[in-house]
Structure 1
Amino acid sequence: MTDDIQVLIIGAGPTGLTLAVELARRGVPLRIIDAAQEPSPHSRALTIHAKSLELMEDMGLLEEFLSAGTRIHALNVYAEGKRLTHLSFEDGSSTFPFVLSIPQSDTERILTEALKRFGVEVERGVRLERLTVVHPELASAQLTLADGSPEELEVSWVVGCDGAHGVVRGELGLELEGRAHQENFAIADVHIAWSMPDDEMLSFLSPEGTLAMLPTPGEGRYRIVAEVGQGEEFDPSLDGLQKLIKRSAMRATLSDPTWITNFRIHRQMVRRYRKGPVFLAGDAAHVHSPIGGQGLNTGVQDAYNLAWKLALVVQKHAYVSLLDSYEAERLPIAASTLESTDRATRAISLRSGLSQQLRSNLASVLSNFEVIQQRLTDRLGMLNLNYRQSPIVDQHREAITSARLLPSRSSEAPSWRDWVDFGAAPVPGDRIPDVVYDENPDRSPKRLFSLLKDTRHHLLLFDGQAQTSEGYRNMERVGRLVQNRFGHHMQVHMIIPGSRRPATLRWRGSVVQDVDSALHQRFGAGADCLYLIRPDGYIAYRSQPSDMRLLFRYLDRIFI
């Protein structure tokens, strides 16, 4: 292999750059190449949702993204001059109750600069000509460098992040399978002079087709997406856009277009995300309707999911079989996203007058229910996605018959209420909630995500309400053994209710005083239990009680 490079990334869009930053952050030697001589100046994908913002915060890039973007706080849907729906993103379950609108060019710039800080440069003008799988952990790549000279290298792992028209997928003999929608859409970045709020998305449903406007950075700047009617020719001019925007029934004047184009929607994905040492991520693996702005986010989350697993395998901390979970976890997410965005596209593209009326009535009624609002907001923010069916998540719970009828502060055994509360708490495969808790009554509350902000797994050992010497000894024993064996990639935290550290607790590591019991309540930790949190913010394993033998049985499946 060349210069000990372990990973070759093909494609320097948001997916490839996210993967590169996360691998570099973990000390993995890599190269990232892109056939384009320069980054694209166009805005292209704009929206970054709550789950992706959580990832950017973990990467230490949140403030750069927030400074470059504009926050969108709501979605309004109109038909026949009336507002049918007002969906406030404040109703979601994230610390980031908004959608961030930021041009893809800025997203790529921020990620490229972050990568440079790790000493890695994007190699531009470099083309992949051929890719050969040598054996399950080795690939051979033939490149043409920017100066036209050839290079052949062998590398342990290759990730194709080169988009829907990329080379890697073809070299693997994989195809994007699915279909294209018949509808044609116009897209433009313009200035709009009108009286509508500048921090809300707007969608107008009309017999001529759907029109959507998304605020972008800069005063009065918007992204317009408009359905071009069947049999209609798209006029890529300011006058053509002005005609399309009449569907809004609003007084609006367009000017200063910086990008105008059109596209057809495709609903396609591959059947496999991996072939031996080669993986696919982002648009190289799936393309779908831009409704909801899920595409860039799905690619970034593909990369985040793969990065921590690949790093553990490259550094020989985990078995190669861990990489099998990438496809097992991400392929169903892509399939679900394709299905949901396809349904939404068909819903907004209805042509029958009766169907349009039914759609409008249904949207108006459903939007009045708070529970529907929250579910829609979490779905848009990608906060409800889970890996519950993953082969690398697990849990242990004793049978309810082993629980005590009534709680007791002198026993670590769970009561029936503790057993029920634990069952209702987040389960393995779920995104961990960003609980706000008080650790010191005299200081500002803290966020759980701040405690977990690094590249490692985190083991949360909950004391429960029964504060016994027996319980502390068990927690210390579990924590000590985990720290001794896995300390280089796992951090242990003991979560203790109340404001005082128990005098008999001898643990010298991280201790969190859960003064208001917010953490205990959210995790159903009325009795002794544990949660293992993955580096991507999902629950890997949990048990009630904290059984050391079963925990290590789980860890031995993953870690070397």
Structure 2
Amino acid sequence: MSQAPLPVLIVGAGPTGIVAALSLLRNGIPVRIIEKDPHSRLGQRGPGLMPRTLEIFDYLNVPEVYQTSSEFPNIKNYDQGSTEVKATYSMLPDYPKTPGTPHNQGRMLGQQTLERLLRKHIDAYGVQTELGVELRTIEQDENRVRAHVVRRDGDNEVEDVIEAAYLIGADGAKGAVRKQLGLTFFGETYDNIRLLISDVRVTSSFLGREYMQTFGNFKDGAIGFRPTKEIAEDGYQLTISGDNHDLPTLAKGKVALEALIKKCVPGDVKLEEVLWCTEWRANVRMADTFSKGRCFVAGDAAHVHTPAGGQGLNSGMQDSFNLAWKLALAYKGLASSSLLESYSAERLPVIADMLNMTTKLMERQRTISVPSKAFQRGPHMFMLSVNYRPSGIVLEEVKTGIEPIDTYGSIRDGNIVAGDRAPDAPGVEVLGQAGEDKTRLMQVFTPTAHTVLVFAPDANAALPVLEGLTAFDASIVKSAVVLAPGAATHPDVGANAIVVDNEGHAYSEYQVEKGETRVVVVRPDGVIGATVKDAGGVKRYFEKIFGQ
């Protein structure tokens, strides 16, 4: 009898790959994660974490990401060599703090630090990144994937074959997985849009630690210094743009780089050390599909774009969070035939909208000479309105007939319906053992199960829905009855949790009238899978997920 294959092989150990690994491990699915590079990555790279991504770390119980991260600094802009501030502005839009949004601002955390924090969590499962293991070719049939890899052992290369039920390619734009699958990478390369990104140590009589300071403008040429103690007490993430700068020469040596810094920054300044440096060229591309057979692509392996708006790293981790729970159900034999197909169907439209948006933002930065205007961005950058309303696996039976909106939610219609992000609600009381230390509705949700929220006048009114849930595996379908203050609780009704909405935010955020019975099913990725009226609606939704 042949040995059962590994459940999931993940190729690529950046944030996209590690979030996929952790999400699967939380769901009880063993993984291996291989990485071509022999060493962990260096560099701050894309440090912006948007509120929707911060919620992923809440779901996955990785509080260190928020605790270690810092606020986005405001920007002070100067002419090159000048001490006079031309403008002070924020690179983020204003977004009001509402009960439904636990995070209303982005945070900064270098990718090198983020990967280290995430690796600790997969290490706790006994899973360690296998460095220096390069994927060469892929074969697959209806039962498994065979990944032919090469493991470096000193100067020698040792060939191996890893068999897995599924494979996730998170190996970047130049990685092997997408190429081996023969996926088309639509888009174009903008040779005239280049950036130099570097981690440096600089001592200066002028540069401070409170603001990001930029000299010049992106249209004609700019150099920017973002202070970060992740590098060192005198550390900065340095960005240089513009046709006026010889980026290839600057990337090669410290002498040319220091000369430019001294030219642009007033006062005494010294480039102490260049820890990491890369020249970036604008590619705007996406694969024609994000899956083929038993293989999937995510993050830069599936789509690449400009860094404007800080959407790339975030989109990759959101790819993984969308995919992982579906793969977990599929491996357990609990998924409908269409569930895995929904990964590509849901994420492709979102990424297409994101590529269009970030390309326009980059063009805006390049063509508008006033930086404060060039950096103006809308609240959709926070990704809280990214939605899957057109998805074939969501079910809306309450607010039917509403007009569709774009998948990025740049224009909102005021509705909360199936396919939208599930809002939070603070000020709740969660009764029973499951409610210990929980004061927010999102703390009831889990990345390992659907959570069926039953809004009801009292706990007994929820019984028909709760009885219908007994037909489903209790490990992957949880329930919570949401009651207004003063309603009869009846803790023995059989729900996993009784939630008393003391401040009324749950009813308000989910747009439910008091006294109404409504069911909202929240998926493991924090998306509303269904809004229905009764047990029959719940059954119809889960037929989409689990099959008949």
Task: Give the TM interval when normalised to the shorter protein.
Answer: 0.7 to 0.9
The residue number in structure 2 matching 1:334 is: 351
The residue number in structure 1 matching 2:82 is: none
Q: CA deviation at 1:308?
A: 0.5
Q: CA deviation at 1:242?
A: 5.3
Which letter does structure 1 place at the counterpart of 2:29?
V
The residue number in structure 1 matching 2:295 is: 278
Q: CA deviation at 1:288?
A: 1.0
Between Structure 1 and Structure 2, which shows a larger proportion of helix residues? Answer: 1
* Deviation string, structure 1 residues 525-548 (Cα, Å, up to 9, x no partner): 1022111001111111002xx221
Alignment identity in percent? 28
The residue number in structure 1 matching 2:465 is: 478
SS in 2 for 1:349: helix
SS in 1 for 2:6: coil
Structure 1 residue runs without a partner (length 5+)? 368-374, 401-422
Q: CA deviation at 1:156?
A: 1.9
Q: CA deviation at 1:74?
A: 4.8
Q: CA deviation at 1:559?
A: 1.2
The residue number in structure 1 matching 2:193 is: 183
Which letter does structure 1 place at the counterpart of 2:243?
G
Which letter does structure 1 place at the counterpart of 2:448?
T
- For 1:320 and 1:261, how far apart are their aligned partners in 2? 43
Q: CA deviation at 1:239?
A: 5.6
TM-score normalised by the chain length of structure 1:
0.82
- For 1:19 and 1:395, how far apart are their aligned partners in 2? 28
Structure 2 residue runs without a partner (length 5+)? 80-84, 402-412, 431-435
Please say if residues 53 and 62 of structure 1, whose CA atoms lie closer than 8 Å, have aligned partners that are also in contact: no
Pick aligned residue for 1:209 from 218, 221, 228:
221
The residue number in structure 1 matching 2:148 is: 142
Pick aligned residue for 2:250 from 235, 244, 248:
235
* Deviation string, structure 1 residues 180-222 (Cα, Å, up to 9, x no partner): 2212222222245466774555556535224444332343422
Q: CA deviation at 1:114?
A: 1.2
* Deviation string, structure 1 residues 121-160 (Cα, Å, up to 9, x no partner): 222222222212323x432222223443332343221111
Please say if residues 452 and 521 of structure 2, whose CA atoms lie closer than 8 Å, have aligned partners that are also in contact: yes
TM-score normalised by the chain length of structure 2:
0.84
Distance 1:145 1:186, change over 3 A: closer
Which letter does structure 1 place at the counterpart of 2:440?
R
The residue number in structure 1 matching 2:116 is: 109
- For 2:17 and 2:400, how far apart are their aligned partners in 1? 45
Which letter does structure 2 place at the counterpart of 1:219?
E
Quick check: 1:434 aligned with 2:424? yes
Number of corresponding residues: 510
- For 2:45 and 2:92, how far apart are their aligned partners in 1? 25
Distance 1:294 1:251, change over 3 A: farther
Pairwise CA RMSD of aligned residues?
3.1
The residue number in structure 2 matching 1:263 is: 280
1:349-498 equivalences in 2 (<5 Å): 349-350=366-367, 356=369, 376=378, 378-397=379-398, 424-439=414-429, 446-463=439-456, 467=457, 472-498=459-485
SS in 2 for 1:31: strand
Please say if residues 462 and 495 of structure 1, whose CA atoms lie closer than 8 Å, have aligned partners that are also in contact: yes
The residue number in structure 2 matching 1:171 is: 180
- For 1:240 and 1:429, how far apart are their aligned partners in 2? 51
Q: CA deviation at 1:240?
A: 4.0
Which letter does structure 1 place at the counterpart of 2:530?
Y
- For 2:125 and 2:75, how far apart are their aligned partners in 1? 42
Please say if residues 319 and 558 of structure 1, whose CA atoms lie closer than 8 Å, have aligned partners that are also in contact: yes
Please say if residues 262 and 270 of structure 2, whose CA atoms lie closer than 8 Å, have aligned partners that are also in contact: no
Please say if residues 523 and 529 of structure 2, whose CA atoms lie closer than 8 Å, have aligned partners that are also in contact: yes
Distance 1:202 1:501, change over 3 A: farther
Q: CA deviation at 1:96?
A: 2.9
* Deviation string, structure 1 residues 410-444 (Cα, Å, up to 9, x no partner): xxxxxxxxxxxxx944111111222212439xx99
Q: CA deviation at 1:281?
A: 0.8
The residue number in structure 2 matching 1:152 is: 161
Q: CA deviation at 1:506?
A: 4.1
Distance 1:276 1:396, change over 3 A: same
Please say if residues 472 and 505 of structure 1, whose CA atoms lie closer than 8 Å, have aligned partners that are also in contact: no
SS in 1 for 2:141: strand
Distance 1:73 1:110, change over 3 A: closer
Please say if residues 146 and 162 of structure 2, whose CA atoms lie closer than 8 Å, have aligned partners that are also in contact: yes
- For 2:138 and 2:320, how far apart are their aligned partners in 1? 20
Q: CA deviation at 1:520?
A: 0.8
Distance 1:502 1:22, change over 3 A: closer
